[in-house]
Amino acid sequence: MISSAKARVASRLAACAAVLAILGAASTVSAAASTGAPAGTGAPDILAAPTLVAKTHDGNVGYREVGTGSPILLIMGFGGSMDYWPPSFVDALATRHTVVVFDNAGIGDTAALPAPLSVSAMAGQTSALIGALHLGRTAVLGWSLGGMIAQALAATHPDQVSRLILAATQAGTGASLPIPPAAAAALASSNLATVLSVLFPPDQSAAAQAYVAGIVQYQGFYGASDAIKSEQTAAIAQWMAGQDPPGRRLRSIHARTLVADGTLDQLNPVPNDQLLARGIPRAGLLLYPDAGHAFLFQDAAQFVPVVERFLR
């Protein structure tokens, strides 16, 4: 699938440039591209990491790896590829950890899973990747849909998860407040400015600008196809309705857990974060003011050190 996705790269990059222009920062793309670590420093650089393919019992999985130290696996959210992780965010974590990013089912070099797609099936494929890479017990950070996958992974494969960080995500018990339809439609939009409008609060245009300027640095930047987005939408609905069995097993999660979000998350109201934190034994809850669904990138300067302390 990666060839068809990359066939749309030129138009996608043009759209990103248009968003930067709207934000009044079109010139920052080239500037941001020059802010990586100088050659020869040995500092982590996810932009230089090759895309590798792990052969697993759930099909091939495309991934990248950077850094040294104890492992942390990052699980992407709705519609995103591993190119949606800002390089600065990944590299900051990689100063002390081996960071693994990968593509969910049907995206990039990762094999599609049998229909109908489910969160638990994606968790099974994630577990297969952990096994293939011999990560052992790894810290796991899941964002949005990735947080649902992370919950299912921790519930069904507890021996593979040492620490669990759930960012801007919902429980699968059926008790969460629904995703507001307007916000869900905006997230699924092909217009990047519309997508950004539900990831960052209106007064955080600089953070939105920095996010886009970061991710367009990936060579051949790509995302999920519309067909995969549709499958993911159905999987999320099933999860939130309490119809995906691992979603109802919050009490069985015994990995040390941190739940985090922005107080202005348009896709996930704060009561959902509180519900999730209450449901997992001894979970902590951290909320960032004036931050939205992409709080972890907007407030990375504060969030990354929190993650570091949590993983010790």
Residue 37 included in any domain: no
Residue 289 included in any domain: yes
Q: Which domain holds residue 60?
A: 2-32+50-311
Residue 40 included in any domain: no
pLDDT value, residue 125: 98
C-alpha to C-alpha distance for 267 and 264, rounded to whole angstroms: 9
pLDDT value, residue 9: 45
8 versus 268: which is more confidently predicted? 268
pLDDT tens-place string over residues 78-130: 999 999 999 999 999 999 999 999 999 999 999 999 999 999 999 999 999 99
pLDDT tier at 226 (50, 70, 90 boundaries)?
very high
Indicate whether this model's pTM tops 0.85. Answer: yes
Mean pLDDT score of the chain: 90
pLDDT tens-place string over residues 46-66: 999 999 999 999 999 999 999
The H-assigned helical ranges of the chain are 2-6, 9-22, 28-33, 87-94, 119-132, 145-156, 181-187, 192-199, 205-215, 226-240, 270-279, 295-298, 300-311
pLDDT value, residue 41: 57
> Which residue's entry shows tokens 């790269």?
9
pLDDT tens-place string over residues 187-218: 999 898 999 999 999 999 999 999 999 999 99
C-alpha to C-alpha distance for 128 and 287, rounded to whole angstroms: 32
pLDDT tens-place string over residues 152-183: 999 999 999 999 999 999 999 999 999 999 99
- Residue 232 sits in a domain whose CATH number is 3.40.50.1820
Residue 122 included in any domain: yes
Residue 45 included in any domain: no
pLDDT tier at 42 (50, 70, 90 boundaries)?
confident
Residue 175 included in any domain: yes
Residue 195 included in any domain: yes
Give me the number of domains the chain comprises: 1
C-alpha to C-alpha distance for 189 and 192, rounded to whole angstroms: 7
**Do 280 and 253 meet the contact criterion of CB atoms below 8 Å apart?**
yes
pLDDT tens-place string over residues 302-311: 999 999 999 9
pLDDT tier at 19 (50, 70, 90 boundaries)?
very low
pLDDT value, residue 232: 98
Residue 38 included in any domain: no
